[in-house]
């Protein structure tokens, strides 16, 4: 699937440092790339409530990582999935009387437009679940053959049903290593986030669905030996990532609410399919955006949408600057006044850097931005370095018209903010 048209990214003199990022598995800072190419998989949206600020915050964090990799001079291979069929989308279709495909298409288009407006570099591969069904079917068949999955009969279904298929977590001794949650916490989150702990016939309450046999009124696809049906949530990312990237790839990413059950389960499925300990060397997750005192979420009803802000005339560069001003791992509260502050900052930057008049040298400032981003994407420090340059610019003794141009390009290439 075509993602969106990406921005033209400026080239700046010199090269950046290897970005160190916090790895959720080992709990420390680790080099985000070790070879000539950096490989990234990020979970995409389920297209029914896109794109709220929590989504945007997540994809901007990975965009900063991609930009730092490009600045380092390594090749980048970035794959992103799209959950274009799943329970929440079908529920939305039922609730609104709209066709689920229409909702998915409209919301995916909105998401792409929002990403383009925010100058997010598109993934090299943008792949949906619907277009990946044959590979998912093959993977589930392999898991059954390997004794890592089992069928559960569907009560009251037609005689043709072969039943649903669940992964057998008991067959994975490494299960639980990513989230490291208590059994109670797992049980609670599994119920809250799309799991079905009370489904009769499962070996373990937490065993996740791999293939849902066709039900009346639900979309379904040919599942070969599985019978008609549709994929479960976690297997899709395991399959799309392995289809698009060599394993183990460098970074598996998403919002922190995906750590459990989504990534824990999908990493377990990847292990069953590849025999590797994990599909990725590192796991990177972003913090949650709150609004009105609670995490921004559909269930609370406190979503703020990128497209609505842009429709109201908000400058996308100011929105980007406001969002990346928060460290990617922290939880934080969205307040409208952040936009005004970002607008004011942008105006100061434009005044000092965007003009053609001579300004002070910027090499040191560009080095500071690079170092800040290499330290676990410390965007606040990177922004502060630009602020410092802007404050000191009129006093600089050495004047060069090229310095401001270099800094302008660096702010574009590294932070994704275009000042001209």
Q: Are 333 and 358 in contact (CB under 8 A)?
A: no
Q: Pick the closer one to Zn ion by CB: 127 or 320.
A: 127
267: contact with Zn ion by CB under 5 A: no
The window from 37-45, 127-135, 362-370, 401-409 that contacts Zn ion (CB under 5 A) reads 37-45
Q: What does residue 108 show for φ and ψ, rounded to 5 degrees?
A: -65, -40
How far apart are CB 254 and Zn ion at their closest, in Å?
6
With CB under 5 A as the contact rule, the residue among 43, 226, 319, 366 that binds Zn ion is: 43
Instruction: Say how many C-beta atoms besides its own lie within 10 A of residue 8's C-beta.
Output: 9
Please state, in angstroms and rounded to a whole number, the distance separating the CA atoms of residues 261 and 192. 10
Q: Is 53 in the site for Zn ion (CB under 5 A)?
A: no
- The residues pairing with 229 across neighbouring beta strands, listed in sequence order, are 213, 221
Nearer to Zn ion, 78 or 349 (CB): 78
Distance CA 411, CA 405 (A): 10
Between 12 and 43, name the residue whose CB sits nearer to Zn ion: 43
Q: How far is the CB of 262 from Zn ion (least distance, A)?
A: 5
In the bound complex, what is the minimum distance in angstroms from residue 283's beta carbon to Zn ion?
A: 12
Q: In angstroms, give the least distance from the CB of 240 to Zn ion.
A: 8
Query: Tokens 């970074």, residue?
Result: 251
CB of 157 to Zn ion, least distance (A): 28
Q: Helix axis angle, 53-72 relative to 100-117, nearest 10°? A: 50
Q: How many helices (H) and strands (E) does the chain have?
A: 13, 14
Tell me the number of residues near Zn ion by CB under 5 A.
2
To Zn ion, the closest distance from the beta carbon of 281 in angstroms equals: 17
**x/- letters, 213..242, toward Zn ion (CB under 5 A):** ------------------------x-----
Q: Is position 178 an interface residue for Zn ion (rule: CB under 5 A)?
A: no
* Interior angle at CA 412, CA 408 and CA 414, nearest 5: 115
82 binds Zn ion (CB under 5 A): no
Min dist. Cβ of residue 385 to Zn ion (A): 34
Query: Residue 275 and residue 273: Cα distance in Å, rounded?
Result: 6
Residue 86: closest CA among 191, 193, 199, 2: 193
Which of 295, 334, 341, 298 lies closest to 318, judged by CA? 341
Which of these segments, 42-50, 160-168, 202-210, 267-275, binds Zn ion (CB under 5 A)? Answer: 42-50
Residues that bind Zn ion in the complex, under the rule CB under 5 A: 43, 237
């Amino acid at each position: 699937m075509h993602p969106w048209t990406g921005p033209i990214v400026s080239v700046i003199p010199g090269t950046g440092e290897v970005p160190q990022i916090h790895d959720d598995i080992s709990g420390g800072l680790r080099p985000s790339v070790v070879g000539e190419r950096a490989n990234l998989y990020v979970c995409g949206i389920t297209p029914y409530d896109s794109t709220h600020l929590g989504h945007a915050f997540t994809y901007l964090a990975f965009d900063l990582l991609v930009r730092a990799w490009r600045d380092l001079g390594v090749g980048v291979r970035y794959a992103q999935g799209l959950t274009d069929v799943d329970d929440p989308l079908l529920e939305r279709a039922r609730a609104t009387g709209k066709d689920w495909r229409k909702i998915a298409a409209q919301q995916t288009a909105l998401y792409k437009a929002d990403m383009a407006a925010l100058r997010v570099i598109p993934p090299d591969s943008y792949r949906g679940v619907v277009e990946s069904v044959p590979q998912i079917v093959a993977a589930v068949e392999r898991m059954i053959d390997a004794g890592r999955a089992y069928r559960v009969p569907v009560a009251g279904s037609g005689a043709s049903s072969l039943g649903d298929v669940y992964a057998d977590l008991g067959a994975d001794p490494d299960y639980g290593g990513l989230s490291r949650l208590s059994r109670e916490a797992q049980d609670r989150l599994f119920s809250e986030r799309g799991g079905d702990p009370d489904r009769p016939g499962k070996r373990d309450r937490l065993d996740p669905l791999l293939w849902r046999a066709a039900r009346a009124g639900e979309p379904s696809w040919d599942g070969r030996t599985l019978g008609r049906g549709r994929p479960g949530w976690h297997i899709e990312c395991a399959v799309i990532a392995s289809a698009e990237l060599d394993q183990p790839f460098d970074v598996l990413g998403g919002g922190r609410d995906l750590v459990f059950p989504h990534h824990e389960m999908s990493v377990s499925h990847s292990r069953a399919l590849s025999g590797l300990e994990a599909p990725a060397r590192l796991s990177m997750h972003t913090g949650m955006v709150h609004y009105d005192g609670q995490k921004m979420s559909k269930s609370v009803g406190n979503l703020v949408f990128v497209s609505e802000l842009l429709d109201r005339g908000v400058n996308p560069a100011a929105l980007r600057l406001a969002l990346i001003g928060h460290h990617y791992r922290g939880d934080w509260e969205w307040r409208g006044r952040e936009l005004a502050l970002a607008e004011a900052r942008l105006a100061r930057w434009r005044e000092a850097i965007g003009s053609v008049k001579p300004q002070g040298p910027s090499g040191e400032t560009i080095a500071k931005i690079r170092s800040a981003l290499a330290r676990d994407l410390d965007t606040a420090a990177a922004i502060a370095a630009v602020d410092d340059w802007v404050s000191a610019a009129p006093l600089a003794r050495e004047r060069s018209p090229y310095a401001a141009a270099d800094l302008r390009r660096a702010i574009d290439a590294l932070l994704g903010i275009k000042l001209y």
